Structure 1
Amino acid sequence: MTFSLVGRCARTGQLGAAVTTSSLAVGSRCSFARAGVGAALTQHRTDPRLGPCALDLLARGFSAAEAMKTIVAETPYRDWRQLALIDAAGRTAVFSGAHVRAERGEAQGRDCAAIANIVRSATIPQAMVESFERAPDRPLAQRLVEALAAGEEAGGEFVPVTSAALIVVDRESFPYVDLRVDDHATPIAELARLWSAYRPEADAYVVRAVDPERAVPPPGMVAGKV
């Protein structure tokens, strides 16, 4: 009962993931990303330990396919897991265990991969990939959120989704964007609204961290706060 996407911006090198589901706090369990390394998704009987493990392998120089092969081989309950990876070069890998419930699906595209389980249509991941590929010049965060919306439009879950999350990493060790929506009637639309509101401030928050003497308060913010 989750659909999600990992992606890379070939222009900026940013990496990220977006995910939505009908249960709470999906962003705390399912999506992971590390600057210059990759992004990972773990869902369906979710094991949150698998995301960081996959990123550690990518950081050691494994390709997405090599990291996925290793994770699957070393995971004792692999039949219950559904996973997606992208590495810094844009290579992807997906896995759906034998016990992942239908409808389920996987799709890989240019600089992206999508997975879904317990959804209305197995074509949802392909719809997400097509959406992501459609506008390569848009910000990665926007493309990821739009891909979630495309998955919802292609069928979505059997029950309404209630949580959604977006994470994007750029050059620093901390996320460039990390937005989450929980217990909301329309979490994908709310995630899109939050991204639109955060977008003008995202670069300013990076400057505040790495070069505070050059920082200028984002629009509407009182100097000295946050």
Structure 2
Amino acid sequence: MTFSIVGRCAQTGQLGIAISSSSIAVGARCPWLRAGVGAVATQNVTLPALGPQILDLLEHAKLEPAAALDRALGASEWSEYRQVTVIDSRGRTAFFSGKQALGTYHAVAGSQCVAAGNMLAGTDVIEAMIPAFGNAPGMLADRLLAAMHAAIAAGGEAGPVHSAALKIVGDLIWPIVDLRVDWADDDPVGRLDGLWQAYKPQMLDYVTRALDPTAAPSYGVPGDE
């Protein structure tokens, strides 16, 4: 039903998640990020609570990703139905795929990233994401999307994909990128990439608007002078 990648930019410290699913609005349930702490993708019969719980354990209990993941899953019923990936602010990773994960499932950790999926066309889908992320140029969002495109080229999900999301945090408490395609009959990852290409040149302008409204650029819309 889902494949995703969580990653970190070693140069900026940004943390991000790109994810897609056959289900509607995957971005509403599965990606969880906290600036300066980590990122968690919780998927396959999703328990959204695992995201903030693991982030709390990373931040407040100072646990490493593997220990935080184990503790959260150990306290949760039905853990064998979950698939979860974690990366922390230092780039350390962990992942779990329960025995009840759907269809063909797989997870792989790489340098500063970890990818996972279920109901896949094959395990090669996830294997393709790690080198694509590592070799792609550009910003963290570009690299995450490159991994998603590589997954689709390798076969993607066993069935049609309908939703996709991209979320990134940096130094600020709020996400600097939070883009979603909640439902599309065709190519939600391509549509998500299109949203990113439109948002990319404006991203820092919205940060400026928040931090210093007097320096905010105008976009010529009514009331924006």
Normalised by the length of structure 2, the TM-score is 0.95
- 1:221–1:97 Cα change, 3 Å: farther
Per the TM alignment, residue 65 of structure 1 is displaced from its structure 2 partner at its CA by 1.4
Aligned to 2:40: 40
2:190 equivalent to 1:189: yes
CA distances 1:104-153 after superposition (whole Å, capped 9, x unpaired): 00000000000100111012222111110113x52001111111111111
Secondary structure of residue in 2 paired with 1:100 = coil
Task: Quote the Cα distance in structure 1 between the aligned partners of 2:88 and 2:52.
Answer: 13
Aligned to 2:17: 17
Secondary structure of residue in 1 paired with 2:161 = coil
Aligned to 1:111: 112
Task: Quote the Cα distance in structure 2 between the aligned partners of 1:177 and 1:134.
Answer: 22
Aligned to 1:122: 123
Q: How many residues align?
A: 222
Q: Map 1:7-156 onto structure 2 (within 5 A).
A: 7-60=7-60, 61-135=62-136, 137-156=137-156
2:189 equivalent to 1:198: no
Task: Quote the Cα distance in structure 1 between the aligned partners of 2:135 and 2:142.
Answer: 12
2:166 equivalent to 1:159: no
Aligned to 2:221: 222
Task: Quote the Cα distance in structure 2 between the aligned partners of 1:65 and 1:221.
Answer: 49
Aligned to 1:180: 180
Per the TM alignment, residue 31 of structure 1 is displaced from its structure 2 partner at its CA by 0.6
Task: Quote the Cα distance in structure 1 between the aligned partners of 2:72 and 2:155.
Answer: 30
Task: Quote the Cα distance in structure 2 between the aligned partners of 1:56 and 1:34.
Answer: 9
Task: Quote the Cα distance in structure 2 between the aligned partners of 1:44 and 1:23.
Answer: 10
Code of the residue aligned with 1:158 in structure 2: it is A
Note the aligned Cα RMSD (angstroms). Answer: 1.2
- 1:174–1:223 Cα change, 3 Å: farther
- 1:67–1:223 Cα change, 3 Å: farther
- 1:222–1:106 Cα change, 3 Å: same
Runs of 4+ in 1 over 6 A off after TM superposition: none
Task: Quote the Cα distance in structure 2 between the aligned partners of 1:140 and 1:121.
Answer: 26
- 1:171–1:223 Cα change, 3 Å: farther
Task: Quote the Cα distance in structure 2 between the aligned partners of 1:197 and 1:122.
Answer: 32
